Structure 1
Amino acid sequence: MRRDELGDLSAFLAVAEERSFTRAAARLGTSQSSLSHTVRRLEERMGVRLLTRTTRNVAPTEAGEQLLDTLRPAFNDIEERISAIGALRQRPAGTVRLTASPHPAASIVMPAASRLMAEYPDVKIEISVDLRLTDIVAERYDAGIRLGEQVEKDMVAVRIGPDLRMAVVGSPDYFARHPKPKTPHELTRHSCINLRLPTLGGLYAWEFERKGRPLNVRVDGQFICNETSMIIDAALNGLGLTCLPEDLFGTLVAEGRLVRVLEDWCPPFPGYHLYYPSRRQTSPAFRLLVEALRYRE
């Protein structure tokens, strides 16, 4: 295979994964027109259309999907082997790409990453902050950070934080106007602030458990949002009750700015974990970050 043919295949892989010439060009550090010319050249050489192009979308054809399935593991293997060769350097180096939701990214990852980068100047860390449950293999991340119960069973999971609990809270002003609920069933009589889930777009059903018996409650209220900081502000302003992981509230409950209820209905659950594919060949830089993030009680 000639060198330009390998480059053409790499260009196609980027476009097929990004589903966009614009994003693929940014990823490869080239122009959109040059990338489009490269893919057309590959299609002409292979004698088959690989991509379906519309004004809004780019998608692989059936032939393109077959080529994508062939190229992705091959290029991933090349990258991992090159990283392994680079690992023979005396000083750890390279880029580690993570995806994480906002709270663990700021409260857990950044403090550890900052210390690591200060100690190892050749290590680079990229964090994509996103509430979605990202496919880290398809989107070429080294690892992701999510709650333990959200991690797939075929992934290596490393605990990076303590167990968490959900907390139902409201402002003192709200409870001056409404009685405190004694059971989750009474929440249907309260104004509740709903969280819009990012992955499928549904509303979060408030989850409770007591004496080993789970209970989910669908609540209603005037305000719905997909951003937790705005939900907390709404609760502080007396718009209703909210249910979020207790660590998101910081000192607001201790300071009396929010009042917690139904605490005995909220048992602990696995906290944040770093996860990555079990078949991955890890680099020294990645292993350093894992150890820096590993939770130690």
Structure 2
Amino acid sequence: MFNYVKADLYRIFHKRSNQFYWLILAALFLVFTILGSANANFAENKSDLTVMYFSTAVIPLILFGPLIISPQFYYAVYLDELNSKGFVRLFSSGLRKSEYIVAKLISSLVYMIVVFTFLALAYVGGFGILALLNNGAPFFTINQIGLLLSIVAYLGLFTIAFSSLTNLITLKWQSGNIPLFLFFVISNGIMASLIGWINRLPILRNFELSPYLLSTSTGKIQNALTNGTLSSTQPPNAQKALNIINSIGTQPFIIGIYIIVTTIISLFILKHSDIKDN
């Protein structure tokens, strides 16, 4: 299994489209941030530079991370291999289907850690450039770093959870095109909205399904992080950060249960499916 993980990570990290995607994303962020601050004057209060740069990264990361970061992780780890028509050769090499499921989870975690580390280095490097252009500035506070790490952890949990859920369909169809569209539909709450609408029917009105949906749990975490960030222009203090964590409650635990259950179901589906030569 670990040989497959190494081969899988080699495939992911050496694919040009993956490299270009993150390079372009980091470059666009740095260019827009530096150009956007060119006319600002931080001479009197250099801490404003830290707040501006912090907010420029955090707010889009919360609002648009599920749209521009999570789908790329899902496609690179799960779908690209299906599109390369190597699914049959994969299991003919001796890899067990249970090992495949676990290996994909490991590949997802390693890929996310490396990418987020790269984005963090680009983020810190961009701040260093801005600091030099403005004759120095205070660095990030502990609370700012803590909130950034919370958002990164949320995006990682979000990606793995919805990847595992969408993978139930992916493994059954063994196609890499429609599942990517379904990932957007499911992860952005469109499917949950449809279920909520169906739940209004008289026959189902007594059964409240919303609290048990994955989108509900991830939505509560996103709302907590968003409210904690957008409610003030100043960095969150220790008490505010604690309130954000407390408001999240047991949602990460519920999402973890989703990951475990969908992983088990994925194994069952894969074991009882014929591997197609795409």
TM-score range, shorter chain: under 0.3
Bigger Cα Rg: 1
Higher relative contact order at CA 8 Å, sep ≥6: structure 1 or structure 2?
2
Higher helix fraction: Structure 1 or Structure 2? 2
Q: Which is strand-richer, 1 or 2?
A: 1
TM-score (norm. length: structure 1):
0.23
